[in-house]
Amino acid sequence: MYAVLLQIPSGNSSMIANVLLWGGIIVVFYFFMIRPQQKKQKDQKNFVENLKKGDNVVTIGGLHGRIASVEGTTVTLEVDRGVKMTFEKSSISREASAKPADEKQ
């Protein structure tokens, strides 16, 4: 009976260690995965909201063009002289003059 009582505290300490381990994993996951993704989404949303006429942009599909007009949720791009195409604002990926993140040094 005395031996059983000695084993109880060690079981609780291993349970506490497991909880701390999982808590640490969750914190690391948040700071390395979730938080940067939220920041990237916020930056993209601000970029799309601040689009203006004359900006050179690239669409998600890779089409390069200059913004001819911005109306509500749509953007008209001039992709060549006299060739204009209309896109949703959400399909604009980045500025054409900006280098992609993997090319920056």
Q: pTM score > 0.85 for this model? A: no
Chain mean pLDDT for the chain? 84
Taking the CA atoms of residue 29, residue 30, residue 32 and residue 38 in that order, the dihedral angle to the nearest 10 degrees is 140
Instruction: Give the pLDDT band (50/70/90) at residue 96.
Output: confident
Boundaries of every domain in the chain? 1-50, 52-96
Tell me the pLDDT tens digit for each residue of 38-66: 999 999 999 999 989 988 999 999 899 99
Bigger pLDDT: 10 vs 24: 24
pLDDT for 5: 47
Here the tokens at position 76 are 């008209």
Q: Which fold has domain 52-96?
A: SH3 type barrels. (2.30.30)
